[in-house]
Amino acid sequence: MTPEEHAKEQTLGGVYAFVAYFLWGFMPLYFLQLAPTGPWEVVAWRVLLSLVFCALLLTVTRTWPKLIAILRNKRLVFWTIIAGLLIYVNWQVFLIGILTGRVVEGSLGYFINPIVTVLLGVLVLKEEVRRAQWFAIGFAALAVIVIIVGYGTFPWVALTLAASFGTYGLVKKQIGPSVDAISGLTLESLWLVPIAVGQLIVVAATTGITMGQSGAAHTWLLLAAGAVTAIPLLFFAAGARRAPLVVIGLLQFVAPVMQFITGVWIMHEPMPLERWIGFGLVWVALVILMADSIRHARRPVIAPTT
């Protein structure tokens, strides 16, 4: 690959990653259209329909052999089970947050996520942390304290989203390139089928299933949950393989910014001074973290020639 081709691939990767984060940014608006379907039913359909959508993709792309090869590896099967459980927690809490008027708090979780990733690198992977990264972690911790004390509520939605998605990323790092995006989401959805079916049984016995009960438009929107889940992930996988890590790191804030705008200016969620201060501290932490990442990324890189 020539340097020009390498640069073109990196640019294309940045575009793919931006599309992924842009679509993720619209997620709250999509899920809000699914009312009166509750978060437990939505997640159940999301799991089942993601599995169907991925099965169709595996058939069209003729990549079933890749999936079968993964199933023969006990280590990969174990990690995909863990990944499935983590993404389930993330999906469920995300839906609970959106459908109970906590879109802003959900955006806070994804703002904090990069800092949680650094912290996990220290605690689990024993990575060395630079001084600027410690400052970022400190500002994020202070932000949580300000929100708890000043705003008078524990931001459990934000912290659970950050912890679950950060740990999910750590598990994906353990899996590495051995599991492609389609096979990974297929297996993660597959392991969650018993949970999804159990949730639908409970919903049917309590509030009642809403699929097909609220008009054709609502039904089609709910049926689209599988595609809505899988498509951004596939764009992200294509982007992550091509774009530099710093570009991916900067673009990851597109989604929480859009979610924050949705919560404040579209949903009109309350933003008292204490909450603005908390978010401000998190944004300061992210500026420190990103500036440090960019500074350390400015090293001579020789483009691959093969």
For residue range 231-261, what is the model confidence (pLDDT) as tens digits?
988 888 778 777 776 677 678 888 899 999 9
Give the position of tokens 């597109």: 254
28 or 252: whose pLDDT is higher?
28
Q: Residue 139, Cα to own-chain centre: how many angstroms?
A: 23
Task: Place 285 in a pLDDT band, splitting at 50, 70 and 90.
Answer: confident
Number of H helices, E strands in the chain: 15, 0
pLDDT average, residue stretch 201-224: 93
Q: 302 pLDDT exceeds 50?
A: no
Residue 23: both structure tokens together: 């679509």
Q: 77 pLDDT exceeds 80?
A: yes
Q: What share of the chain is helix, strand, coil (3-state, %, to 5)?
A: 80, 0, 20
How many Cα neighbours within 13 Å face the side chain of 219? 6
Task: Place 182 in a pLDDT band, splitting at 50, 70 and 90.
Answer: confident
Percentage of residues in the chain with pLDDT exceeding 90? 45
Q: What is the domain partition of the chain in residue ranges?
A: 3-297
What is the pLDDT of the chain when averaged over all its residues? 87
Distance in angstroms (rounded) separating the CA atoms of residues 84 and 233: 14
Percentage of residues in the chain with pLDDT exceeding 70? 95
Nearest to 262 by CA among 251, 272, 252, 254: 254
Cβ atoms of 224 and 89 within 8 Å: the answer is: no
pLDDT at 126: 76
pLDDT at 50: 93
Question: Which of 49-58, 117-126, 203-212 bottoms out in mean pLDDT, i.e. has the lowest?
Answer: 117-126
pTM: 0.86
Task: Place 303 in a pLDDT band, splitting at 50, 70 and 90.
Answer: very low
Distance in angstroms (rounded) separating the CA atoms of residues 136 and 148: 19
Task: Place 116 in a pLDDT band, splitting at 50, 70 and 90.
Answer: confident
How many Cα neighbours within 13 Å face the side chain of 265? 6
For residue range 163-177, what is the model confidence (pLDDT) as tens digits?
998 888 888 877 877
